[in-house]
A and B are shown apart, each in its own frame.
Chain A
């Protein structure tokens, strides 16, 4: 019997080494293992203790991103690490990669960058692959029709040693975005609207497929942003069926199949999308045309609302505590909140299209006095491309800082952080208490909203600047 299968079913089925039973999870083969400095050292220690080698270094790629400084080296070539530990951690990965013959994108490599930005850039991320990384935002790669998920360090060890993970098949969920996005509304706004709708645990235990006209309309970058945020809805897997846009993105990239292999791969990839009658455990539909530019107003990503709205009334103890932490007054328009810092970066929104969107708003304008704005490209490749378009000069002329690639203020462990009490409008993915520095208040938003807020000095609606576009010369 052949029954209709979803993209997820097909991806899962084709990687099962040992079937799942009541007693044990499936043994799932991994096609691509991405590693970085933070979640790998203890896994390599386990390998050492057990005298094991990395089983498939050819399917493993390493990059440095979380603890790396975004400021340039000093005159002696020394990078300004936040702490000795950070430097030690980076060196540990360099050492482990060398020892186990893993390809590493080292500090001086023109391909280095945030792990979830470089996988797709290199063409290593492909439809039909299973991809893991010791990082929850691995779901980003699902944008290409891959089964991509975050794992813990113990599992990093499992994959290093066996190229497999133990995993039970999760429930499936499809989120359909019907209709078309309005002008000034982006994939980030879709993600925040979705999380606000289903809740921070709404996707718990599920693999989400994003579908519908508005998802088809998204660029690959936009799809990555959407899949990236799946984890903020509690789901470990987010994915989009591969289509012509996916193939066009990959064609000719360094690690993508070439020649006859490309033709064969293409044939296989075209068979991956969900069959017409495939069933999902849960299915919901969101009207994409009704989505506005979104921001978060609390300390969980589901506390999200249209940027032109006001702080809602609190009904629970948690919501009240969140509002107190954010120091946002009930009923006050979001636009009355003064901004101290703006961060444009992270694996959610640090690709060329994101930087273009921010630059479009900053061009010819100034970051408001008293606001610090940081623009951190996701990779060396993004940095080069942005500089070729002169975007870095747009940011600098506006008074923003143009930094070297890395995770930076998304996780604030490399020294880039806000100060206690500061309000940061950030294009990253988590507004948790203290995520961007102790006592820092984070507002998540799209690059356009973040850029507009930097200019105004208060949380700002980017659509205002789209309207003014025609009459730009009049705008200060």
Chain B
């Protein structure tokens, strides 16, 4: 089974400078009672975007723009900390984001994001500060060369785990990869269990 490949993305940024944005902010727990992935985009950052009466506040940096042209989220450090809920990347994707840039991104969020085609991009602190200071900038993320660039000759590199990168570039699906390993798994089971 092939997934949609991800090679490069050019889009405008949305900036959330807060540090330690945790998965409870990205998708509050009360929206986790769903049994599908549908509709989670509407609940992304719900408590930041809606007031106590459930009305859109309109003053949050997450509203008032065209989502199709703003697919890159630039967030403060330690983004995605907290829970293992995959609802967090599902919600961000549902909202319209295709990539998240921060100076560091929590492990389990990163791994969940990569499995769903949301690219987590961790860049050095200086480059991060510059992007944080430029909301709405047009930024290009190139997965082939592992670089982020914007404006005049500004660019920086980022790391991606090699296998996840391959999977994204080629649209390979990890489940298929694991299913191909069933003979080895069977041998392991016979040996050890």
> Which candidate, B63-71, B135-143, B181-189, is the interface stretch facing chain A?
B181-189
Contact with B along A59-92 (1 / 0, CB 8 A): 0000000110000000000000011011011001
- Using known A-B contacts A134-B84, A151-B84, determine if residue A89 contacts B175 with beta carbons closer than 8 Å: no
Contacts of B116 in A (CB 8 A): 154
The A interface, classified by DSSP as helix, strand, loop or mixed, is loop
Q: How far is the CA of A411 from the CA of B178 in the complex (A)?
A: 32
Contact A88 B178, beta carbon cutoff 8 Å: no
A24 adjacent to B163 (CB under 8 Å) = yes
Is A14 in the interface zone, CB < 8 Å from B?
A: yes
A86-B33, A234-B81, A433-B24 known; A152-B108 Cβ under 8 A = yes
Quick check: B185 and A432 within 8 Å, CB to CB? no
Give the interface residue-count category, chain A: 35 or more
**Is B47 in contact with A434, judged by CB distance below 8 angstroms?**
yes
Residues of B within 8 A of A153 (CB): 85-86, 112
Once bound together, how far apart are the Cα atoms of A27 and B188, in whole Å? 11
Chain A nearest CB from B185 CB (Å) reads 6
Across the interface, which residues of B come within 8 angstroms of A83, CB to CB? 33
A330 within 8 A of B: no
Q: Is there a chain A Cβ closer than 8 Å to B52's Cβ? A: yes
Residue of A nearest to B85 (CB): A39
Query: Given the interface contacts A23-B166, A162-B185, A432-B22, does A234 sit within 8 Å of B107 by beta carbon?
Result: yes
Structural contact, B107 and A205, CB atoms closer than 8 A: yes
CB distance from A226 to the nearest CB of B (A): 19
Q: Within 8 Å CB of B1, what residues of A?
A: 50
Contacts of A141 in B (CB 8 A): none
- A residues near B28, Cβ cutoff 8 Å: 434, 438
Given A204-B104, A318-B18, A432-B24, A412 and B174 contact (CB-CB distance below 8 Å): no
Which residues of the partner chain A approach B24 to less than 8 Å between Cβ atoms?
Answer: 430, 432-435
Are the CB atoms of A200 and B78 closer together than 8 Å? yes
Evaluate contact between A38 and B32: CB separation under 8 angstroms.
Answer: yes
Assembled-state Cα–Cα distance A166/B1 (Å)? 17
B163 to chain A, nearest CB (A): 5
Interface string of A29-46 (1 = CB under 8 A from B): 101000000110110011
Check A157–B108 contact: CB distance below 8 A.
Answer: no
The answer on a CB contact under 8 Å between A136 and B84 is yes
Shortest distance from the beta carbon of A254 to any chain B beta carbon, whole Å: 20
A-B contact pairs, 23 of them (CB 8 A): A17-B181, A18-B181, A18-B184, A23-B163, A24-B163, A27-B185, A29-B188, A29-B189, A31-B193, A52-B179, A89-B33, A153-B86, A153-B112, A161-B179, A166-B163, A234-B78, A234-B81, A299-B20, A316-B19, A318-B20, A413-B30, A430-B22, A433-B22
7 A-B pairs with the lowest CB-CB distances in the bound complex, closest first: A152-B112, A41-B35, A85-B33, A150-B84, A152-B86, A153-B86, A136-B84
Q: A17-B188, A22-B162, A29-B188 given; name 16 further pairs at CB < 8 Å.
A: A17-B184, A18-B181, A50-B175, A67-B33, A88-B33, A154-B175, A162-B181, A236-B107, A317-B17, A411-B29, A412-B30, A430-B83, A432-B22, A434-B24, A434-B25, A438-B52
